């Protein structure tokens, strides 16, 4: 299953893309998530989690996502086949921190579609025992052809930043990272979907 994700990484990096079938990628992600949950390591969990947060620092390109498929039982999660992000849409996550020990830092989400570029920014909190990274987008920059259209806080962002670190996980948006490698990372979102990012080669 790991080889499938490595193939996705190579395909996203290549100018001649040859992706595996999306349902195969979903199955690979589910298997890797299952392994991560059941894996028992002799290393101290606290040290492992700090190492995981350290590995997340950097810029990652979104390559593949799944979605929750509608069913007759809304409480039951059924994943769709998932989609690869097309090359004409560029979506990147960038994590940074000044102190790994406290698990706090910032996130920037870059979305580029043609001449339009939007950058969402905000605080993050990494929970060491669960590999959960909570986040909130409180500030936005918007550009068109390099010209800045807007910069400022959004949705009462100043207040949300002020109280972000006082909130519980249930009150926050988050990703649960179950795979963190040098070339790619994978996580399950709060809503139940899966996502796979590859290491970015561009300085954004």
All domains of the chain, ordered by start, with CATH? 2-199 (2.40.128.280)
Mean pLDDT in the chain? 87
**Contact, 113 vs 91, CB < 8 A?**
no
Q: What is the pLDDT of residues 115-124, one digit of tens each?
A: 999 999 999 9
Cα–Cα dist 3/37, whole Å: 19
Q: What is the pLDDT of residue 25?
A: 94
Q: For the whole model, what pTM was predicted? A: 0.88
Across the range 70-79, mean pLDDT stands at 56
Q: Which band of pLDDT confidence, cut at 50, 70 and 90, is reported for residue 42?
A: very low
The SS3 call for residue 160 is helix
Q: Which of 177, 188, 193, 164 is nearest to 54 (CA)?
A: 177
């Amino acid at each position: 299953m790991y080889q499938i994700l490595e193939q996705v990484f190579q395909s996203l990096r290549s100018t001649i893309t040859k992706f595996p079938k999306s349902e195969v990628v979903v199955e690979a992600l589910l298997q890797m998530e299952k392994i991560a949950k059941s894996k028992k390591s002799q290393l101290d969990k606290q040290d492992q989690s700090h190492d995981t947060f350290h590995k997340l620092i950097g810029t990652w390109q979104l390559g593949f996502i799944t979605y929750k498929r509608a069913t007759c039982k809304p409480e039951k999660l059924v994943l769709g086949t998932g989609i690869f992000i097309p090359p004409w849409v560029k979506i990147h996550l960038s994590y940074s921190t000044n102190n790994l020990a406290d698990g706090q830092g910032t996130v920037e989400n870059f979305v580029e579609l043609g001449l339009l570029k939007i950058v969402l920014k905000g605080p993050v909190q990494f929970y060491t025992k669960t590999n959960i990274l909570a986040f909130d987008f409180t500030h936005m920059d918007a550009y068109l052809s390099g010209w800045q259209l807007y910069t400022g806080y959004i949705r009462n962002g100043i207040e949300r930043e002020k109280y972000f670190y006082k909130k519980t996980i249930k009150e926050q948006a988050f990703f649960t990272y179950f795979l963190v490698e040098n070339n790619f990372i994978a996580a399950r979102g709060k809503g139940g979907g899966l996502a796979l990012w590859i290491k970015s080669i561009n300085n954004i």
